[in-house]
Amino acid sequence: MDRVIIRHQYEFSAAHRLHCADLSDEQNIKIFGKCNNPEGHGHNYVLEVAISLPVDPMGEIATVEELDELIDTTVIKPFDHKHLNKDTPEFADLNPTVENISKVIYEKLAPKVDDLGSMPGSELVEIKLWETQKTACTYKG
């Protein structure tokens, strides 16, 4: 059966502080600069989710409402308008760089995407997380 890759984008806003506990304050400031501000700073993230799935015999792709709900419950509600270091267990001890955030989101989504009821045979291909208009990270698992 033919397969296609569909991509959907979602948005959420979050604050974080880039800080490594194994480094001195001076080293953290040198490496992370203004992103090491003790109060944190924020971003309006854009998350792109790419899913591979079979096309049914009529050439249609299953509806995406279930995917939207999955993203909402797995990513948006837990991270939107949160300080990632302080408000989320995933980043209590993990530096919330765009790379680490991307990996966490992928790992949270992958097993759930594989079991989407309205999209049998669906697989998470990759996620792309835009932190700024110039900076993004793609994670493929």
So which residues are the catalytic ones? 35, 81, 131
* Sign, CA torsion 27/30/31/35: positive
Break the chain into its structural domains and give their ranges. 3-139
Alpha carbon distance 34, 28 (integer Å)? 10
Q: For all residues of the chain together, what is the average pLDDT?
A: 92
pLDDT-based confidence at 64, cuts 50/70/90? confident
Pick the more confident residue, 139 or 5. 139
Alpha carbon distance 34, 17 (integer Å)? 9
Mean pLDDT (whole number) for 62-73: 86
Domain covering 3-139 in this structure, CATH number: 3.30.479.10
CA 34 distance to own-chain centroid: 23
Residue 121 neighbours by CB distance under 10 Å: 12
Chain segment 4-30, per-residue pLDDT in tens: 898 999 999 999 999 999 999 999 999
Alpha carbon distance 96, 118 (integer Å)? 33
Separation in Å, CA 51 to CA 23, 44, 66, 129, 137: 38, 23, 13, 15, 17
Please choose, from the candidates 6, 3, 7, the residue with its C-alpha nearest in 3D space to the C-alpha of residue 128: 7
Give the pLDDT confidence score for residue 134 in this predicted structure: 97
Please choose, from the candidates 135, 54, 68, 59, the residue with its C-alpha nearest in 3D space to the C-alpha of residue 102: 135
Give the pLDDT confidence score for residue 88 in this predicted structure: 98
User: Is residue 124 predicted with pLDDT exceeding 90?
Assistant: yes
Mean pLDDT (whole number) for 107-119: 84
> Rounded to 5 degrees, what are φ and ψ at 43?
-140, 155
Alpha carbon distance 1, 58 (integer Å)? 12
What residue type is assigned to position 137 of the chain? C
pLDDT-based confidence at 58, cuts 50/70/90? low
